């Protein structure tokens, strides 16, 4: 079997899909995308394709090694996202060729389903509580929310009070055992992170995500000791070498690599195995499309330390198209009782609606994250 063609599709709302074709008619799909940089990732896929044409798609580990190490400059969001989508598609091909799901090739399932959480929005406590209650009524047992809007290095306590009011309203509405993840989103700098993490302690959160940006991870040494709430981090890290220092320092409880950013199935599984050796949990990052979710579930099936899965059904980013629009078998994502079942079909377990992908790719997207500014005109982290 030989690889004959790689084709990328930029599709709404903010995704990039990749199709890899072979001379035996077996095709594989991946989702190589970095939010806001989809076209850059697609260009990187095209550059990496030069090596792959004519190669046997089944030699996944060797292809990953060459595509990573074969360039003098390596790593980072663009390169690793391009490599991720390629890797995903190669695993899809291999599973389809053998007639088994990818998780079977990784050693088999350790679970039949995994707990999922749902994103919510809302600027006022009543709205936040209503959104969380709506998700609970739909069967979700956990949600994640952004902690705050823009926040200065040192800000006023009315901002702190707003965060606490939003979280308190959810706790009151949904009860003491409903899971609440609070994402600081890198918007909060160390001085205010210290305040917020202490103030949020009584609300028994499932986790606090990115209390500071990953590049400021040394601040976790101080922040982590101020609360018993688990700390999650990792969506902006792209390889086992990025995660190595985080694990060695020991202040993060939950790693959140994104298999569409962190080198695909091959690399993310290695990151998860490293985390397990440090007794650290995995909650894979996935506010993306159906191919990405299928990839995540294949890994969740195989990684013992995975405990919950992000997914984008109904997320506020999905304007124009939602999670299930691009596949012919949406029932494969079998939600129920706060969980989703592990797909059992060959490869990634999904059937991509290629005709609709082509139709929507004619529209494409130019999604960019918002640019925020503080009241004084200075840039604010989004």
| Residues identified as active-site | 185, 285
CA 2 to chain centre: 31
Radius of gyration of the chain (CA): 20
CA 198 to chain centre: 27
Q: Quick check: 166 and 130 in contact, CB under 8 A?
A: no
Q: Quick check: 289 and 348 in contact, CB under 8 A?
A: no
Q: For residue 200, which of 233, 174, 162 has the smallest C-alpha distance? A: 162
Place of tokens 């390889």: 239
Listed in sequence order, the residues at least 6 apart from 215 whose beta carbon sits closer than 8 Å to its beta carbon are: none
Listed in sequence order, the residues at least 6 apart from 151 whose beta carbon sits closer than 8 Å to its beta carbon are: 159, 187, 188, 189, 192, 380, 381
Q: Quick check: 30 and 7 in contact, CB under 8 A?
A: no
- Separation between Cα atoms, residue 159 and residue 244, nearest integer Å: 34
């Amino acid at each position: 079997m030989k690889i004959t063609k790689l084709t990328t599709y930029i599709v709404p709302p903010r995704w990039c899909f990749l199709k890899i074709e072979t001379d035996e008619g077996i095709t594989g799909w991946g989702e190589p995308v970095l939010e806001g940089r989809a076209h850059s990732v697609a260009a990187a896929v095209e550059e990496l394709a030069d090596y792959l044409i004519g190669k046997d798609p089944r030699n996944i580990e060797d292809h990953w090694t060459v595509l990573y190490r074969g360039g003098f400059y390596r790593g980072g969001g663009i390169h690793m996202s391009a490599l991720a989508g390629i890797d995903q598609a190669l695993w899809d091909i291999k599973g389809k060729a053998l007639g088994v799901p990818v998780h079977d090739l990784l050693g088999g399932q350790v679970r039949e389903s995994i707990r999922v959480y749902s994103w919510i929005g809302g600027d006022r406590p009543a709205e936040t509580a209503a959104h969380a209650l709506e998700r609970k009524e739909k069967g979700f047992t956990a949600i994640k929310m952004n902690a705050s809007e823009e926040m200065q290095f040192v800000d006023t306590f009315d901002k702190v009070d707003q965060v606490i009011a939003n979280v308190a309203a959810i706790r009151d509405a949904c009860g003491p055992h409903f899971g609440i993840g609070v994402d600081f989103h890198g918007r909060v700098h160390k001085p205010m992170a210290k305040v917020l993490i202490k103030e949020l302690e009584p609300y028994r959160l499932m986790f606090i995500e990115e209390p500071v940006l990953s590049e400021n991870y040394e601040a976790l040494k101080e922040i982590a000791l101020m609360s018993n709430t688990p700390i999650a981090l990792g969506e902006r890290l792209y390889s086992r070498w990025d995660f190595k220092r985080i694990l060695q320092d020991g202040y993060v409880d939950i790693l959140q690599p994104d298999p569409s950013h962190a080198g695909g199935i091959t690399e993310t599984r290695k990151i998860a195995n490293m985390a397990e050796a440090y007794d650290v949990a995995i909650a894979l990052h996935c506010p993306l499309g159906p191919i990405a979710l299928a990839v995540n579930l294949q890994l969740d099936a195989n990684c013992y330390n995975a405990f919950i899965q992000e997914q984008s059904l109904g997320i506020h980013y999905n304007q124009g198209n939602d999670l299930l629009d691009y596949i012919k078998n949406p029932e494969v994502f079998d939600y129920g009782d706060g969980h989703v079942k592990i797909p059992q079909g060959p490869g990634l377990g999904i059937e991509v609606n290629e005709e609709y992908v082509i139709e929507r790719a004619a529209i494409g997207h130019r999604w960019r994250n918002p640019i925020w500014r503080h009241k004084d005109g200075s840039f604010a982290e989004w």
